[in-house]
Structure 1
Amino acid sequence: MESFPVEICEGNQHMSESVFVGLCEIVGTSQQVAIRREAEDIMEMMERRVTPYDGILGMLSGSTREGFRLEGSDIDVMLWPNNHRVIINMFQSEYYNPANTTLILSDSSESPPGFTLLQLLTPTTYRDVQSASVRMNDRVYISSSIYRQLTCSVVMANSTVHGPCGSGVRGRAEYDTAFCFVCDFWPLSASSWINRCHAWPDPEVLTDIVRNGCHFVAIGHPFGPHEYEEWRISFSRAEYKCISTMNHSQFLTYGLLKLFLKEVINQQSEETNELLCSYHMKTTIFWAIQQNTLPHWCPQNLLAGFWVCFKLLLKWVYEGICPNFFIPQNNLFLTKINGSAQNRLFLQLHELYKKGLACLLQSSSIRSYIIDVLYNPRAFVCTDESLIMSEVDYDIELLNTIRIVTNVGSGKHQYIKAIHTIEQWVDSRLTHRQVVMLQKLTASVLQHTAVMLHNMYTNISVNKKMYIADKMSCRMLKLAAKFGFVSDMLYVALYYYKTLRYREDLSVIEITKVKLAQPYLMYNGHVDRERYTLTVGGQSWSTKMRQAIAWDIKLYNNICYISELIPEQQSALQNRQPTLYIPVFVVLHFLEFLCYRHIDTTLSQAALDELQVLVHHDQGLYVHDLYRDISWEILGICQQITGNLQAALYSYQQSLTQYPWNKIQTATQRRIQDMIQSTPYQL
């Protein structure tokens, strides 16, 4: 290859500001990104506190963890056995109790930079680790290839191996789950990175990163001497910390690189569209920031920052070397970008480079923002984030994020630990966003603890204990309803039905119906913006949550909330689905139908008619497409109870044709089979 000119290309300031606004609308404003990250921070801290030492810990990683919500992005999750620890040298073993911790030694003496063998030092009770153990040179090592195959479908059935992960599609999202091992120490091969951090990240962040160590994911180097046994060092947690220290212009530049890769670079030809990946873009922005190639990262310099990164990427492709940010000796281009493939990719990138910033016009996401400025260069561009996104947009973002926060497991001891953790957090310094997330998390913990408590004392003969447990459950549920979503009233209704309080239940249902019928209600991201703003605009998030926000009902499948859904919960558990998600209006009509069965059959039929209209005719406003399986199922259950078996059979069959989000097909098929066997002449 011949050398190419690397010319200085400063982005037009006005155009940069326009792209800044566009990226805020696509990627998110700094406040939106903060909402997403803080929710995950709370969930990660909670999971660490409540997971038993012999349990499995997990963490969201990749672009979703970093704060992106780009269309088509994967959901990346890393999981590891909590009582297994990797050490870098034998001296570090003194920090652990060998009686309850399986120790693994990282041996990188024969591996390429960034990779290592994992030697099993002490016995393990974890079956997959035992099965993946292989003997080499009179030592026992954990084979990455065997371990990857064994754990591929642990989280999601029928996943396929993709890199170190088990991959598949759930709903509309692709997922990658990587079972790995955690190390509390910083690897020696990355020690040079510590000495390189003079300006970025700052010393406090640097200390935190090093203190939190790294992970080892199950994939070896294809050119290494032990490809099928080697493990790759993962700096996923460190990368997240680095990204969290970026200012928003730097983060948006990273987002622009990701869009440029997807919409421009990968559209050049089929031969080269898989050579570069998002991780290369992340590596580029890391090096560009740390090398201080652009003194000021701000909205006015956004395109200048992009151009600095693009030139660096082009240089790497020309040289065939992309140095890993933490271990520069690990060339990320070594396996794919070499020879003729490298040459083709360079020529394509160089053609884009020669066009200058006009190459961004090929990006479908960014083009319109650039064209607006080109046609009207004197137009005023406002970069004030408070004017880019409305109050309602932030509320929708917060609502979508709070959903994630409510997932705290379903074991008795986990809930006790969760409550203690929440007590400690109440006294700590929290942002307004964290307070409202904690508020909803508390409501969720109280709801599921209350039902679990009732189930524990249902079958005992001591009436006093049952009475006390019932009083405590009622108080917890009512307290949760006071500061949770509007829809959280239905957890009280579920409990009242379970404890045969039908008239009290109907009273709660009527109150909830009135609140859910308000024209300003925000549900599943749907909202009348004008009425919502007029009614609760300017009020605290806590007030909005209690008065104007509803979400679907989540039931943990190892807790019985209502006997009519036991088969569905059992089916879901058999298919490794821990929760049922049911549309709130389906639950409302379901409970109304069941309660009126004991009081007024005419009103019971009216409730069933409303449920039928909802399930048959809703266009995604009140019944989410992904939850139509359980919605048709519940309609069928109600129809079967009334003796309308033909209608019930139709509803069950419709349930089977929906996307199997809740994994209830086994229960549906059994209901159909039982119905046909018991009353074949009616069907």
Structure 2
Amino acid sequence: MSESLFMGLCDKLGTSQLVAMRRHVMDIRDMVNNQVSGDKGSMIVSGSYKEGFRLKGSDRDFMLWTNNHRVIWDLSQSQYYNTHRKTLILCDSSESPPGFTLLYLLSPCVHTAVQRACVRVNNRYYISSSEYRKFWCSFSDSTPHGPCASGFHGTFEYDSAYCFASEFWPPSAFTWIDRCHSWPQPHVVADIVKNGCHFVAMGHKLGHHENNEWRISFSQAEQKLVCAMNHCQFLTYGLLKLFLTEIINNGLSNYDKLLCSYHMKTAVFWVIQQNTLQQWCPQTLLECFWVCFKLILKWVYEGVCPNFFIPQNNMFPSKVHGAAQHQLFIRLYGFYKQGLVFLLHSPSIRSCIVNVLHNPNLSICTDEHTLISEAEFDMELLSDINKHDTLYTPNLETCMRYLHTIEQMMVSHLLTQYQVMTLQRLTASVLQNTTFMLYMETYTQENKLKYRADKISHHMLKLASKFGCITDMLYIAMYYYKTLRYMEALSIIEMIKVKLAQPYLMYEYNVNTVMYTEAVEGQSWSTKMRQAVARNIRLYNRIHYINELIPEQQSALRNKESLLHIPPFVILYMLQIFCYRHADTMRVQTALDDLQTLVHNDQGQLIPLYLRDISWQILGICQQVTGNLQAALYSYQQSLRQKPVHKIHTATEMRIQGTCH
């Protein structure tokens, strides 16, 4: 049964190759971002998403910190910094429980968030964790969630932890280094220690300084440990996560959930390091899970969950005690008495093993490569890359820095093929943004300068289309429309329509795998992207691509939404309608009818359900500019009824008023 579960979990959580790909894509994007940001700050994706999981409904975790602030553990470490360029912060753990500390500001600070979070105690300025968290929640229009600011970006929920970084390993975690005899390997330990730790804005609930204390975070170290797991260990961790969400916490409110994914991960770490199991392999997967489960049961019984790096830090908060602790233990012990049969209460796990329960003599092949076809892997790869090809480009200088950084990285021989693909995709995104930003800066300049900028822009967009997919050619059409070259735009649109009509097209998770394989099997991923892949068009709301969409971009920006995501088929018809209005008015109605048919009748194939708000909005705009105000009013009303992913309701209401006058 373990082998069947192993293969089922590979199918649900990812094969080892898929998981490695996801990590490589995320890693290279973080590297590009952080090299460009320099002293301004760093941001990394953390949590299960960075570890390689893509579980439905899970949020995305981010850690952000300023690089001109550094935390030290004793004053002697200040010699390694130029205090004119770095603000130093000293740890004071003398009155804090293990794993927590106060942060004492050693030098003056100009950072607004830090200044507002400072509290004066005994003639010293300490940074209050609660005030720091409150500032960032207010700044980002989000709500507190543990040490994080929680909110929504488009369709996904995020948790952002605004923290501080230390390049030094915590003295209280030195004993962890001595414990690492068999796992992880010495080079992993060295890499972890070299990268220090972070401090997140959360005090100990039972401590004397809860509002001012900071929790020591080993998030980066934990990511490296998860990457150091073999695939059976990773799947055991994933199995525990499913057990937690679909069995233990099923039906409970957030307040009543006493165990979290972090406890599951910690259990796996301890079991691996203590050599409790001699072998982690497909045949022993259920045994591995059972050992981890028994350790969690023991922790709940004792009321102590030791932090993997600082065991003196009991990670069970104040909720895991008394009656709540007793009820949780009774619940878990009930599962223990049932044996592994209790896993059948999980829909995900049950689907993996039910066939074997009914047919115990069934032979199971444990070769992961038989699980996923070339087309399915391509879909996962290209989807992951396209989800992470956005970079913050506030000005042309930043664009140039991104392009320079990517160019330097591309010559490295250490990159994986997935990372090369990601860099190419990032290049296309930056080139497209650079083009429209350049236009915004030069369209009022003298003709000679405008001509030179236009030639550069045209070259950049053609280069971007070589690095990108079919729908990246739409940026060329948008640029032609913006520069009043309607016939050239229409010519590009016709080319794109032919490519999008191919029966092997891959868009979102829709693809005919047989036809896709026949068309592009054996080709490079770059070629597959150009010939067979479509993606949503992303418009940065600070950059004006199409004048008719400026009200929507401004509405989204006011609501702190940085991007518009538009289905390629919707923007294609929109551009066609706008161009025909100037170049061939006889064909406007036909294009409008095509767009109306698409928006009214599509069932999620060409317009994903989460993009219905912007799609109805664009249909309304096209109807309004062509004089059909009654139809436009209906479309705008439909846009308001959709899930407000893009937060464009202000623009919608303004346009509704325009149709009524």
TM-score, scaled to structure 2: 0.96
What is the rounded CA distance, in whole Å, between the counterparts of 2:253 and 2:423 in structure 1? 47
Partner of 2:128: 143
Q: Counterparts in 2 of 1:382-393, with a 5 A limit?
A: 382-393=365-376
1:84 aligns with 2:84: no
What is the rounded CA distance, in whole Å, between the counterparts of 2:113 and 2:409 in structure 1? 36
2:642 pairs with one of 648, 654, 658:
658
1:178 pairs with one of 158, 161, 167:
161
Q: Is the 8 A contact 2:154 2:646 kept in 1?
A: no
Q: Counterparts in 2 of 1:3-18, with a 5 A limit?
A: 15-18=1-4
What is the rounded CA distance, in whole Å, between the counterparts of 2:555 and 2:56 in structure 1? 32
Q: Counterparts in 2 of 1:371-386, with a 5 A limit?
A: 371-386=354-369
Task: Output the amino acid matched with 2:160.
Answer: T
Q: Is the 8 A contact 1:272 1:344 kept in 2?
A: no
What is the rounded CA distance, in whole Å, between the counterparts of 1:403 and 1:338 in structure 2? 45
1:286 pairs with one of 269, 272, 275:
269
1:132 pairs with one of 105, 117, 135:
117
Task: Output the amino acid matched with 2:182.
Answer: A
What is the rounded CA distance, in whole Å, between the counterparts of 1:170 and 1:598 in structure 2? 36
1:35 aligns with 2:18: no
2:215 pairs with one of 232, 239, 245:
232
Q: Counterparts in 2 of 1:626-665, with a 5 A limit?
A: 626-665=610-649
Using the TM superposition, give the Cα deviation of residue 350 of structure 1 relative to its aligned residue in structure 2, in angstroms: 2.1
Using the TM superposition, give the Cα deviation of residue 254 of structure 1 relative to its aligned residue in structure 2, in angstroms: 0.3
Partner of 2:86: 101
Partner of 2:194: 211
Using the TM superposition, give the Cα deviation of residue 82 of structure 1 relative to its aligned residue in structure 2, in angstroms: 3.1
2:5 pairs with one of 8, 19, 28:
19
Q: Is the 8 A contact 2:93 2:102 kept in 1?
A: yes
Q: What SS is found at the alignment partner of 2:347? A: coil
Q: Counterparts in 2 of 1:304-319, with a 5 A limit?
A: 304-319=287-302
Q: Is the 8 A contact 2:153 2:561 kept in 1?
A: no
Q: Is the 8 A contact 1:268 1:348 kept in 2?
A: no
Partner of 2:35: 49
Q: Counterparts in 2 of 1:507-656, with a 5 A limit?
A: 507-656=491-640
Using the TM superposition, give the Cα deviation of residue 478 of structure 1 relative to its aligned residue in structure 2, in angstroms: 0.6
What is the rounded CA distance, in whole Å, between the counterparts of 2:618 and 2:352 in structure 1? 47
Partner of 1:7: none
Q: Cα deviation per residue 1:593-624 (whole Å; 9 max; x = unaligned)?
A: 11111111111221111111112221111112
Q: Counterparts in 2 of 1:385-464, with a 5 A limit?
A: 385-411=368-394, 412-429=396-413, 430-461=415-446, 463-464=447-448
Q: Is the 8 A contact 2:155 2:645 kept in 1?
A: no
1:193 aligns with 2:176: yes
Using the TM superposition, give the Cα deviation of residue 674 of structure 1 relative to its aligned residue in structure 2, in angstroms: 4.2
Q: Cα deviation per residue 1:368-410 (whole Å; 9 max; x = unaligned)?
A: 3333223222211011111011222211111220123311111
What is the rounded CA distance, in whole Å, between the counterparts of 1:454 and 1:269 in structure 2? 53
What is the rounded CA distance, in whole Å, between the counterparts of 2:363 and 2:316 in structure 1? 43
Runs of 4 or more above 6 Å deviation: 268-272
What is the rounded CA distance, in whole Å, between the counterparts of 1:299 and 1:576 in structure 2? 46
Q: Is the 8 A contact 1:265 1:273 kept in 2?
A: no
What is the rounded CA distance, in whole Å, between the counterparts of 1:124 and 1:671 in structure 2? 46
Q: Is the 8 A contact 1:108 1:115 kept in 2?
A: yes
Partner of 1:152: 137
Q: Is the 8 A contact 1:552 1:583 kept in 2?
A: yes
Q: Cα deviation per residue 1:614-666 (whole Å; 9 max; x = unaligned)?
A: 12221111112222222222222222212222222222222222222222222
Q: Is the 8 A contact 2:376 2:513 kept in 1?
A: no
1:242 pairs with one of 213, 217, 225:
225
1:164 aligns with 2:150: no
What is the rounded CA distance, in whole Å, between the counterparts of 1:675 and 1:356 in structure 2? 65
Q: What SS is found at the alignment partner of 1:31? A: helix
What is the rounded CA distance, in whole Å, between the counterparts of 1:268 and 1:664 in structure 2? 34
What is the rounded CA distance, in whole Å, between the counterparts of 2:538 and 2:155 in structure 1? 19
What is the rounded CA distance, in whole Å, between the counterparts of 1:544 and 1:153 in structure 2? 44
Using the TM superposition, give the Cα deviation of residue 320 of structure 1 relative to its aligned residue in structure 2, in angstroms: 1.8
Partner of 2:480: 496
TM-score, scaled to structure 1: 0.93
Task: Output the amino acid matched with 1:648.
Answer: A
Using the TM superposition, give the Cα deviation of residue 273 of structure 1 relative to its aligned residue in structure 2, in angstroms: 5.4
What is the rounded CA distance, in whole Å, between the counterparts of 1:227 and 1:245 in structure 2? 34
Q: What SS is found at the alignment partner of 1:105? A: strand
Task: Pick which of 410-419 and 298-307 moved more.
Answer: 410-419
1:354 pairs with one of 323, 326, 337:
337
Q: What SS is found at the alignment partner of 1:539? A: coil
Q: What SS is found at the alignment partner of 2:348? A: coil
Task: Output the amino acid matched with 2:186.
Answer: P
Task: Output the amino acid matched with 2:62.
Answer: V
Distance 1:489 1:419, change over 3 A: same
Q: How many residue pairs get matched?
A: 659
1:69 pairs with one of 21, 41, 54:
54
Using the TM superposition, give the Cα deviation of residue 272 of structure 1 relative to its aligned residue in structure 2, in angstroms: 10
Using the TM superposition, give the Cα deviation of residue 306 of structure 1 relative to its aligned residue in structure 2, in angstroms: 0.9
Using the TM superposition, give the Cα deviation of residue 585 of structure 1 relative to its aligned residue in structure 2, in angstroms: 0.6
CA RMSD, aligned part only? 1.9
Which consecutive residues of structure 2, in runs of 5 or more, have no partner in the other structure? none
Using the TM superposition, give the Cα deviation of residue 349 of structure 1 relative to its aligned residue in structure 2, in angstroms: 1.9
1:344 aligns with 2:330: no
Using the TM superposition, give the Cα deviation of residue 94 of structure 1 relative to its aligned residue in structure 2, in angstroms: 2.9
Q: What SS is found at the alignment partner of 1:598? A: helix
Q: Cα deviation per residue 1:75-131 (whole Å; 9 max; x = unaligned)?
A: 222222332222222222233333333222121111000101111222222222211
Task: Output the amino acid matched with 1:646.
Answer: Q
Task: Pick which of 82-91 and 574-583 moved more.
Answer: 82-91
Using the TM superposition, give the Cα deviation of residue 142 of structure 1 relative to its aligned residue in structure 2, in angstroms: 1.1
Task: Output the amino acid matched with 1:215.
Answer: H
Partner of 1:333: 316
Using the TM superposition, give the Cα deviation of residue 317 of structure 1 relative to its aligned residue in structure 2, in angstroms: 1.8
Distance 1:663 1:270, change over 3 A: closer
What is the rounded CA distance, in whole Å, between the counterparts of 1:57 and 1:630 in structure 2? 32
